[in-house]
Structure 1
Amino acid sequence: MIFNSKINNKTDSYQSISLLERFNQCLKLAPFAILSLVVYMSLRSTQIFPDEGLIFVNKLWHEAFLGWYDFLLICSIGICFFSGLIKLEKNDFLFILILTFIISLSFLNALDLGEQYIIDALVYLFRFIIVFYLAKGLVYRLGIQTSESVLIFLFIILVLSSIFVARQQLGELNRIYAAGMTVASSSQVASIVCLIALMRKYKLIIFISLTYLFLTFSRTSILVSLILFLIYSRQLSTANKIKYYIAIGILVSIFVVILLTYGGDLYASLIANRTNLDEISTLNSRELIWNNALKLLQSERIPIFGVGFNATPSLIKSANILFVDSYGQLQLPEHFHNIWIEYGFGLGILSLFIFYYLLKRVWQTFQSNCYPSFFIFAFFLICQSADFTFYQPKSVIIWSLMLGLAEGQWRFKYE
């Protein structure tokens, strides 16, 4: 991807520029595109899901929930393409063509799902492509640190939406999450923002994102964040390592004490549940789901080109795979809780192209100490292997933005 002027990347060298000033730079460069992302992340659940609570019952594929917000996003980012703000190289066109070909080929075994299924699958693909290349474009024009400000401001919007969600569901779930997103997807965004904030020394953002992450009670995101920070801390001096470890330890301890002291039975039972060894040993019934997936694979019911992109719920329903939910009831899972199974079953053998790309980028960014690209690629692959969230509209948009930022940094600096 080539932009009118790469020299603007030197903006990142000015450390005195505030986060707000960086965001303003992004807004000036692509105002309609940035504002459309703000609108998207501000949507309430009921604006995306028409019948929330019943949207995943007896579904045969992951629905796209196409709406006016998608048309706003497409038009605003389209302006960036037509105005010359974003230009694609041959490698970009090749990547898009291969991705489209793989997904289209998977339709061969999903034609019986109907026309609406194919439309939904293509909507998901298009959402990913336009936001991915918008993010990549921002990096080329403004640099990675300035471009990150868009992600951070979108995260703040998600945090604010979580306050309204928490007021409505307090006493039922007691785990915070953003409107239109799951607990897992909300925690993943918080984790990435927290890791970036630690790198950039955005103290207020560190506090907000770490607090938010803790209140999601997502064991996977918290553990992966800790592992990635330990990897990153190799570059820090011993004094700084100790300072960070002590600060994080104190902050977490304070959270636990406050919740146990003032949270009452609601949070005491939640903490007990999240630290339950029996639940941890079965990975919240994921072990059962994955064992059933293995049986499906051994039964040779998976075609060589897959059952269809995003069509794995049809497999779950036909095989009657059940798991025990948090209320102790048996029900069909929404997905296989694993991106390897989701894409392996959905796209078949050609899913190896996607996993090769991800694994390659994880290794390349790790070897080159390319942060935050390594954080994003590694976190995406690890967390999506246990908490698959890359299917709901907001999750696709925010992850496409983060992956685009990661790819933009890597490509700009090392290719």
Structure 2
Amino acid sequence: MTADAPDAPDTPGTLDFGKLFAARLHAARVRPYLASALFALHTVESRRVPTMAVDRHWRCYVSPVFVDRTPVEELAGVWVHEVSHLLRDHHGRSDRVARQRGLTGPGERLRMNIAADCEINDDVFGEGLIGPEGAVDPASLGLPEGELMEDYLRQFRLGPHTQGLAWLDCGSGADGLEREWDLGPDGAHGLSAHEQDAVRFRVAQGITGRPGDAPKGWQRWAEEAFQPPQPWRELLGAAVRSAASGAGAGEDYTYGRPSRRSAGVPGTVLPSLRRRPPHVSVVIDTSGSVSDTELGSALIEVAAITRAVGGRRDLITVLSCDAAARIVHPLCRAEGIPLVGGGGTDLRTGFAKALRARPRPDVIVVLTDGQTPWPGTRPPCRTVVGLFPRQESAASWDEDDPDYVPDSPPAWARVVVIGSAPTAR
């Protein structure tokens, strides 16, 4: 993955590998966090490629004529641009968008290529890296900077203002549509899915290790590469099941079935430990910082929690809470639970009321945005927190104190972030 063997001898009229690799070395020097990705690309000479293009298997197809007429500094920018398509999985994302929105045909794929270029080019150049001639950026289309390919796709259509971009072709690695020059999955020197993930991880590791050296777009990408989106609904159900089946949850002693140890203590009947169905108390944050949409999602999660404990609605109670705890409702139907609130947030009252219930819950599930104080001591039962995510700009919001910064959920709680999985950038 580190050395390229030319597919043709370096003779007059063929690809100038010396110039091309000098440009790659320059790109690695000015963007050291991308070095492992740049040297993972395998170079393939192709006269059918307009400039440079990549496929989804991490091959880089290069036009000899383009290399001859392009300065080394600009070629370095093209290297970084093309590998950015692969690192940000533009081919996979384009395929998903095409399926979701019913986008077909080369025209729509060209739009995806343009949108992907806008995502990359808004902050990739400068500080030693020269943008290639004719590089597309959001400003050239009158679009805002800092957005994702999927966002840009909604904001423009092909027309007179994009006629000059008809030549644009970064390959199937940019828009997912296979080209005639692609060597395909069975061709030589392609990277497997595991090898591609390993390259992405190394790049993300380099960015997070020295975050000041990378633009904000790359920093956000690296954070998501280290913390990939997870299926939060499955995680929440698994967390509840794990808490409900853990040691101490749903356990009690009974004399109805004497312990086998009674045989060692003549004349004494010892109780045995039995497992009963666990009781779950769901505390829903109904403060003013939680939206109606999130409250609706909370009720959906109540139904999912019910399934996680075997569908026994009689074992689930629901409590709405803002600054004060409301009535504890036995679960009959999720849509019949009144979610009363709208003031400030103090879920400590919800914990206290849930623990006073009889029978006492074996598991407490809290659905909240996290804008709340937490109990100072660990409750005598397992706790799962379903957390509605908040943007950094809203992380310090409070109804009464603008300087208030909420505490993170305590270490004794199992936390699952609720919400749509973010799109990798």
TM-score in terms of structure 2 length = 0.24
* Larger strand percent: 2
* Larger helix percent: 1
Q: Which has the larger radius of gyration?
A: 2
- Greater relative contact order, per chain length (Cα 8 Å cut-off, separation 6+): 1
TM-score in terms of structure 1 length = 0.25
